[in-house]
Every structure is written in structure tokens, then in C-alpha cells.
Structure 1
């Protein structure tokens, strides 16, 4: 198998592990910086060049696309798709997952449990918008934030209103959600590869913090996802069209609720906590897909 990994930095843990896993299985692999890829688009065909040389013939492309380069990097990935390469996470699926509002709409349409979410544009509707969620605390999230950035917890209606008005003044896109207190500042990251959860870890927020992201000081430990939680995680990834995903759930009194579906989940936290070869599972999955 001839494999390309789209990544800005070949030394990043996740990229490095994918390269190691691919080479250990005898595959040819190359890391391509998506910002150095450039394309020709014409009715007679699609082509790609990288640092002045043609790029072609890749069986599989695995995207490791950061949020800051989403637009350009997904265009590069789409070009590879049009040139016949398989990817576990198509460009349109990544765009669906990166847009929190769109992702929540698609998940809810499949009957997947979520915290109640509200979205609106006009300042005249702010009070009624907040009333749709019930009393605070409220969680306010930038629509395209990542790693816990742009996520705020407000304890009073006046604080919720102030944050909403501030974000609107900055022309930021955001959603407002109910706060699920019984989760206790913890969530469950289910790492989905294909039709199964290959690893799960519990992330606990640091003292005084409500965000459990490891980048925010959260602590990770191996976890056993229930059959229901695994089913929800797989359904969530499938609803967005992702073959590889990190699905973040919270355990609530009404069952597992999906917080987010990450299309470029990091491998370091989950491999370190669970001692599972997640990179190898990804390589095995894409290898089987192109051999079918």
C-alpha cells in the first residue's frame, strides 16, 4: 500500500506513530505538508504537485488536519479523493465535524443523545434563546473551537447574556448548551476506527476547571466503555461520515450524551493511557478497505 499522511509536522506524536505503524506492516508512507501541496483543476483531469514535483498514485491518504488550516487542507484532501485515493475521513466529513452546529444537527437527526443546544443570531432573541435551555449554568462554545479553547461556563443568566452579546459583537459563531452537572467534570473519549471502539479513556477535569481536555490539565485514565456507549460512539462517527474519530461522551442520568466528534483525534493521550496500538488499528483498517 502506498500511503500519504497530510500533516504540517512529521515529528508530531500522532503523525510519527502512523508512519511507524505503516512501515512496520511493510507499507510505503510519506508525510506531506498540505500547505505545500498545490493543484491543477480542469475538465480534463485533476493533478497535484508538492514542492515542485508531481504527486500521484497514493492508495490511501490519512488526514491530520489542524483547525487553522481546515479550508485549504480539506481542498487538498478533496483533490486526492478526485484523483482516486481512499481516505477514512473524507473532506466533507471533516467539514461536518468541524462545524459544531452542523454536527449537532446531524447527530440529533439520528436520535443520538446530546446536551440541549441553542443557536440564534438576533440580539432581541437572547433572553428567549437562553430560556430554551433552562436555568444556568450554561456552556457557551465557539462553533469551531478545539482542545477546549473558546468554551465558557456561565453561572448566572446575566453572565450568559453578557458573553452572548460580547461574542455577537465580535461576529463570532457560537452555540449555547445546557450544563450537565452529574458528569462531574469528566468525559469519555471513545476512539472509533471503522465499526468499533478500539480504545476508551476517561478524562477528568483539573480542580477548579470544568473542561476535561488534556490540553487544559485534565487527567486521562483507561476506561471500559459500555455496549451502549460504544454503539453511540460508532453511530456518531458514521452519522458524520468519519471512519476514524474521537467521540467525546458524558455519562448522564439519561444515558450517554455526545459532546463532540473529533475528526483528527490525537493518539498520544489514548495510547499512553490505554496502552493500545491505535495507530496500528488505523493502518490495518485502511489497508483492509482498499483490499476489499
Structure 2
């Protein structure tokens, strides 16, 4: 299999591991910076060049597209798709997952439970909007934030209103959610590959914080997810159309709740904690799926 990996930095752990895994399994792999890919689009004809040379003959592409280049990166990925290249995470699926509001709407429509979420635009409606959610604490999230950035906890109604007014003043898109106190600052990352959870880890927020992201100083340990948690994680990835995903769950009194579905989940934390060859599993799945699609 000839594999392309869309990544802006070939030295990142996840990118390096995917290249290593591909070569260990007898495949060729090349890292392409999506911002250096450029396209020709004509009726029934799709071409792409990279640094002056045509891109062609790739059997599959793994998108490792950062949130800051979502628009252009997904356009490049879509061009690969138009050229007949297989990808486990199609461009439209990535766009669905990146938009937290859209993702929550799609998941809830399929009966997948998540923290109660509210969203509104007009400042005149803020008080009633918060009444629809219930009493604080409230979690306020930027719609396209990543790795815990843009996530705030407010403990009083006045604080919630102030943060909402400030974000609206910045023309930011955000959602407001209920705070799940019984989780005690912990969540569960389930790594889904090809309709199966291949690894799970429990992440714990550092003292004084409620965000469990490892990039925010959180700690992690391997954990055995329950059958219900695995089923929810797999279903969430399927609803958004992702073959490879990191599904973040929170354990609540009413069962597992989906916090987020990550279309570009990092490999370093989950491989380091659990000792599972996640990169190898991703490559094996893609090789099998690409062969079937071809």
C-alpha cells in the first residue's frame, strides 16, 4: 500500500509512529504538508501537485489536520477523495466532528447521551438561555477549541452571563453545558479503530482544574472500559462517519456521556499509558479497508 499522511509536522509523535507502523507492515508512507498541496479542479478531472510534482498513485491517506488549518486541510483531503484515494476519516466527517454544536446535534438525534447543552446568539436571551440549562456550575466551550483550550467553568449565574457577554463581544462561537460534578475532573478516552475500541485510558485533571487534557497537565492511566462505554464510543464515531476517532466520555449517574469526538486523536498518551500499538492497528485497518474499497 502506498500511504500518504497529511501532517504539518513530520516530527510529531503521532505522525512519526504512523510512518514507522506503515513501514513495519511493509507499506510505503510519505508525510505531506497539506498547505503545500495545491489543486486543479475541472469537470470530471481532479489533480493535485506537491512542491512542483504531481501527487498520484496513493492507495490511502491518513488526515492529521490541525484545527488551525481545518478549512484548507479538508479541501486537500476532499481532493484526494475525488481522485479515488481511500481515507478512514472523510473530509465531511472531520468537519462534523470539529463543529461541537453540529456534532452534539447529530449525536443527540441518534439517542447518544451527552451533557445538556444550550446555544444562543442574542444577548437579550442570555438569562432565559441559562434557565433552560439549569443552575451553575456551567461549562462554557468555544465551538472549535481543542486540547482543553477555550473551556471555562463558571460557578455563579453572574459569572456565566459575564463570560457569555465577553465571548459574544469577540464574535466567538460557543456552547454552554451542564457540569457533571460526580466525574470529579476525570474522563475516559476510548480510541476507536474500524468499529472497535482498541484502547482506553482514564484522564484526571490536575488539582485546581476540571480539564483532564494531558496538554493541560492532566494525568492518565490505562482502564478497562465497560461494554456500554465501548458501545457508546463506537456508535458516536459511526454517527459522525469516522473510522478512526478518540471518543471522550464522562462517567455520570445516568451512564456514559459523550463529551467530544476527536477526528485527529493523538497517539502518544494512549500508547504510552496502555502499551498498545495503536499506530499499527490504525495502519492495519486502513490497509484492509483500502483493499476492499479498491
TM-score by length of 2: 0.99
RMSD: 0.5
Offset of residue 43 of structure 1: 0.7
Runs (4+) of structure 1 exceeding 6 A deviation are none
* Correspondence for 2:180: 180
Offset of residue 133 of structure 1: 1.1
Correspondence list, 1:93-108, <5 A: 93-108=93-108
Correspondence list, 1:152-171, <5 A: 152-171=152-171
Offset of residue 44 of structure 1: 4.0
Q: Residues of 2 paired with 1:174 and 1:232: CA distance?
A: 24
* Correspondence for 1:287: 287
| Aligned partner of residue 258 in structure 1, secondary structure | strand
Offset of residue 291 of structure 1: 2.0
Q: Residues of 2 paired with 1:167 and 1:192: CA distance?
A: 33
Is residue 88 of structure 2 the alignment partner of residue 91 of structure 1? no
Offset of residue 84 of structure 1: 0.2
Is residue 66 of structure 2 the alignment partner of residue 76 of structure 1? no
| Aligned partner of residue 9 in structure 2, secondary structure | coil
Correspondence list, 1:211-222, <5 A: 211-222=211-222
Q: Residues of 1 paired with 2:291 and 2:82: CA distance?
A: 19
* Correspondence for 1:109: 109
| Aligned partner of residue 58 in structure 1, secondary structure | coil
* Correspondence for 2:14: 14
Aligned residues: 292
Q: Residues of 2 paired with 1:9 and 1:120: CA distance?
A: 37
Offset of residue 225 of structure 1: 0.4
* Correspondence for 2:122: 122
Q: Residues of 2 paired with 1:117 and 1:165: CA distance?
A: 18
Is residue 110 of structure 2 the alignment partner of residue 148 of structure 1? no
| Aligned partner of residue 290 in structure 1, secondary structure | helix
Query: For 1:184-220, what per-residue CA distance to the aligned partner results, in whole angstroms no more than 9, with x for missing partners?
Result: 0000000000110000000000000000000110001
| Aligned partner of residue 132 in structure 1, secondary structure | helix
| Aligned partner of residue 230 in structure 2, secondary structure | helix
Query: For 1:246-277, what per-residue CA distance to the aligned partner results, in whole angstroms no more than 9, with x for missing partners?
Result: 00000000000000000000000000000000
Which blocks of at least 5 consecutive residues in structure 1 are unaligned? Answer: none
| Aligned partner of residue 80 in structure 2, secondary structure | helix
| Aligned partner of residue 74 in structure 1, secondary structure | helix
Q: Residues of 2 paired with 1:196 and 1:113: CA distance?
A: 19
| Aligned partner of residue 14 in structure 1, secondary structure | helix
Offset of residue 57 of structure 1: 1.0
TM-score by length of 1: 0.99
